[in-house]
Amino acid sequence: MSRKSTVNFSNNVDLNQKLAKRRWKSQVGRFFFRMTLIASLLALLMLAYNILNRAFTTVAIEDTVNPTELSEIPLAELEKAELLLILGDYLSSNQLRILIFERILGAPREDWSDLNTQTLSAIIEVGQYPEDWGTMLVSELEPQQILALLGQGLSQELLVSIVEEKVVEERVVQVWTLTETVFNWQGIEAQVATLYPTTRLEFRFWLNTDFLMTAMHSQPELSGLRTAILGSLWLMTITAAFAFPVGVSAALYLEEYAADTPMNRIIQLNIANLAGVPSIIYGILGLIVFVRAMGFLTNGRTILSAGLTLGLLILPIIIISTQEAIRAVPTSLRQASYGMGATRWQMIYTVLFPKALPGILTGTILSLSRAFGETAPLIVVGSITRITADPQGPLSRFTAIPIQIYTWTAQPQDAFRSAAAAAILVLVVTLLVFNSVAIILRNRYS
Amino acid sequence: MTVLTKEIQQQQASIYREYVMELCNLDVYYGNFHAVRDVNMKIESNKITALIGPSGCGKSTVLRCMNRMNDLVKNSRVEGEVLFQGFDLYDARIDPVQVRQRIGMVFQKPNPFPKSIFDNVAYGLRLLGERNRDVLHHVVEQSLKRAALWDEVKGNLKRSGLSLSGGQQQRLCIARTIAIKPEVILMDEPCSALDPIATLKIEDLMRELKEEYTIVIVTHNMQQAARVSDYTAFMMMGEGLDGEIDESRAGELAEFDRTDIIFNNPSNQRTSDYIKGRFG
């Protein structure tokens, strides 16, 4: 901060006074600008602190059934037969049947009632069980028979995990944030000793592979982000596939073909304004146009409708950034191409487009990252907040990462805040990757 | 608009065998600004014609009219005729794309495409739809040799055209232009961004090229015009009523004659003043 002492080599008093004043003004300016920078950095730090504080937590876990009641030795070391016995003791025959559908067949929930009414030979190949069982209806199977089937179809590790999930049934009863864990560990232990004597404490980072790989669940500790991640990926695919070609073509037309007429200037002005329209307005537009009017094509509240809506949302941004990239191509290159006898289209695809492409891609990626975090239009277009089935294609119902965050933060259970924090981390890291790619593209090629 | 019957065409073709281009009463406007007034000149084939004159007198404008590059300038308007082998280039039935293939152009600033040397020279042929590698290779080699660049780049034609020096880039642009065998090459101050040695190389090249091509060059450098050109056109802003030079007025052709006459024995006082460096 300290300024080098200066030698006064001018005798002009007037000039010296003015110099001091000018110096002082620039000092004030520097101080003010530095403060604003520090303030915004502080705000960012607070955000990061809040998220990380929730993503790293201490949890008190209670088992519905204590594993020591099930066996003397750890569950993982038990034989298949012993595990099957435990399952038979604690689960109803209906729950056991569901295990067949879920774990052996991998069938989605809506098919279970159908499967119940079929014969065993129709769903599992003969040879894994005595032949006379083949003609039995699935709903008529005895618990012993089901257990035999489970033993035949599943490995020991899978059975262990089933016992842990269905019998032991870990439940998170309370969550303490990272700060509490670090500064008030004794307090937590005391609280646990008095309130939940049967629980054990565990340190937990919520953003783990299980979180990324499992679907939505009504229990926060069993909830995952897979459905939302897949939903967001589908959305981005559709959005990019729609907005990129349309936006780039529109920009090319406006820059290279359109004459400078009042009409075209009005269109240009409107595009610039559309870029500033609140996203929820686009949501309403999407609801009316894609969900209602074009429902026969888009199947209503589907990924397709939402993707097209987000596409409309970022279309003006793509058009504007593409126009800027096109304008940045030096006139000398256009002239060189035209001077060689190129037609307009030849000039565009041999010179203009290759030269402008990095800029176009940068703009597209940045606008996609905006669409990635958009929530309001998705709510209006109608994403589902509780959905466990992965999206199967553009015509299925969906949820997305920001929607999941929004839903989880509105849940009463405290543990859902931690799930939301983990989801926010996923979102922020993805956005960082998007933007880094854009910056690299811009610096390397343009 | 001229109606060109076949006989007239043949007749004109024979007349203009010697004069490949002719500007008749050419007037150019940019919006309301009258840039060039009433220019008449004939361009002889296989000669170098230089356009000289002070800045802003419309030399480049006249040059760009000769292959319809002025079409790319918004609000530009051309009146009068630009005849090329008897055809009026501004006839509505003439396709500017074809004009620019037959009348090539080299620009003030070297502007190679951000592509390899090979792709730069092959660019024009590829525009025409040539895909045969052998043909392309042959033409690229010939053109680079004609442009006196082959020996310097033959080792690696895959290098970017932008990696060359300024003088090499300009010769690459000339190679690119002659690759599609135009009949006329227009050069818009081709040496103004180059050092004296690179300039000399380009001038030598121009003297060689005029065996096959007709060259029209705009230059600020009077010595250059004197060195290389056969004919020189001196252009000048028009005079106001009081006889003073008025920069807001349209450029006019003050004098057009053989170069040795223009430089040694000009008939126009202003030409003489300009040549002797009294203004400009």
Sorted by where each begins, the domain ranges of chain B are 6-275
CB contact B127 to A (< 8 Å)? yes
Which pair of tokens denotes residue A24?
């002082």
**Chain B: closest CA distance from residue A267 (Å):** 20
State residue A305's pLDDT score.
Answer: 94
Average pLDDT, chain B: 86
Residue for token pair 């790619």: A437
Instruction: Tell whether the model's pLDDT for residue B134 goes beyond 50.
Output: yes
Chain B partners within 8 Å of A329 (Cβ): none
Which residues in chain A are contacts of B72 at CB distance < 8 A?
Answer: 334-335, 338
Residue B243 in this model has a pLDDT that exceeds 60: no
Fold topology of A226-445: MetI-like fold (1.10.3720)
With CB atoms and an 8 Å threshold, state whether B100 touches A338.
yes
- Mean pLDDT for chain A? 88
Task: Provide the residue ranges of all domains of chain A, joining segments of one domain with +.
Answer: 73-169, 176-203, 226-445
Question: Would the pLDDT of B241 be above 60?
Answer: no
Please indicate whether, in this complex, the C-beta atoms of B124 and A335 are within 8 angstroms of each other: no
Average pLDDT of span B28-48: 89
Residue of higher predicted confidence among A169 and A228: A228
Nearest CA in chain A to B186: A339
Residue B245: per-residue pLDDT: 58
pLDDT of A319 higher than 60: yes
More confident residue, A268 or A173: A268
* pLDDT tens per residue across span A231-259: 999 999 999 999 999 999 999 999 999 88
Q: Hey, which of A94-98, A138-142, B62-66 has the most confident mean pLDDT? A: B62-66
CA distances to B133, B137, B145, B213 from B205, rounded to whole Å, are 27, 22, 11, 12
The residue of chain A nearest to residue B99, with distances taken between CA atoms, is A341
Average pLDDT over residues A311-324: 96
| CA distance linking residue B84 with residue B22, whole number of Å | 7
**pLDDT at A15 (0 to 100):** 80
Q: Give the lowest-confidence range in A12-26, A185-199, B232-246.
A: B232-246
Residue B6: band (very low, low, confident or very high) from pLDDT cuts 50, 70, 90: low
Q: What percent of chain B has pLDDT over 90?
A: 41
Q: Over the range A177-213, which residues count as b (16 or more CB within 10 Å of their CB) and which as e?
A: bbeebeeeeeebeeebeeeeeebebeebebbeeebee
Question: To the nearest whole angstrom, how far is the Cα of B67 from the nearest Cα of chain A?
Answer: 8
Query: Quick one: tokens of A231?
Result: 């939903």
Looking at residues A260-287, what average pLDDT do you find? Answer: 93
**Contact assignment for B104 to A346 by CB distance below 8 Å:** no
In the predicted model, is pLDDT for residue A109 greater than 60? Answer: yes
Question: Closest Cα of chain B to A345: distance in Å?
Answer: 11
Token pair in block for residue B32: 């309301």
**Residue B160 — pLDDT band, cuts 50, 70, 90?**
very high
Helix/strand/coil for B122: helix
Residue position matching structure tokens 């040695």: B197
Closest CA to A222 of A176, A157, A164, A178: A164
- Residues 340-369 of chain A with CB under 8 A from chain B are 340-343, 346, 350-351, 354-355
Q: Is the ipTM of this complex over 0.85?
A: yes
Task: Read off the pLDDT of each residue in B23-50 and give the average, rounded to a whole number.
Answer: 90
Residue B4 is predicted with a pLDDT of: 56
Helix, strand, or coil (residue A96): helix
Angle separating helix axes B133-146 and B166-178, nearest 10 degrees: 130
Judged by a CB distance cut-off of 8 A, whether residue A339 touches chain B is: yes
pLDDT, mean of residues A6-17: 75
Is the pLDDT at A3 greater than 60? The verdict is no
Q: What is the model's pLDDT at position A435?
A: 92
Q: A133: number of CA atoms within 13 Å, CB side?
A: 19
> What pLDDT does residue A1 have?
45
d(CA B82, CA B62): 10
pLDDT band at B1 (very low <50, low <70, confident <90, very high): very low
pLDDT of residue A5: 63
Q: Is the pLDDT of residue A363 over 70?
A: yes
**Which pLDDT value is given to residue A383?**
79
pLDDT band at B11 (very low <50, low <70, confident <90, very high): low
Tokens of A382: 């109608």
**Of A398, A238, A406, A228, which is closest to residue A313 (Cα–Cα)?**
A238
Say whether pLDDT at B137 is over 90: yes
CATH code of the domain occupying B6-275: 3.40.50.300
The verdict on a CB contact (< 8 Å) between B105 and A339 is yes
For residue B16, pLDDT beyond 70: no
Q: How many Å from the N-terminal Cα to the C-terminal Cα in chain B?
A: 38
Q: What is the pLDDT of residues B195-237, one digit of tens each?
A: 888 889 889 999 989 888 999 999 988 889 999 999 999 998 8
Long-range interactions of A112-119: CB distance < 8 A, separation 24+: none
Q: What is the structure's pLDDT at B222?
A: 87
Whether pLDDT at A41 is above 50? yes
Inspect the interface and report whether the beta carbons of A330 and B111 lie closer than 8 Å.
Answer: yes
Q: Show which of residues 226-285 on chain A sit within 8 Å of chain B, judged by CB atoms.
A: 260
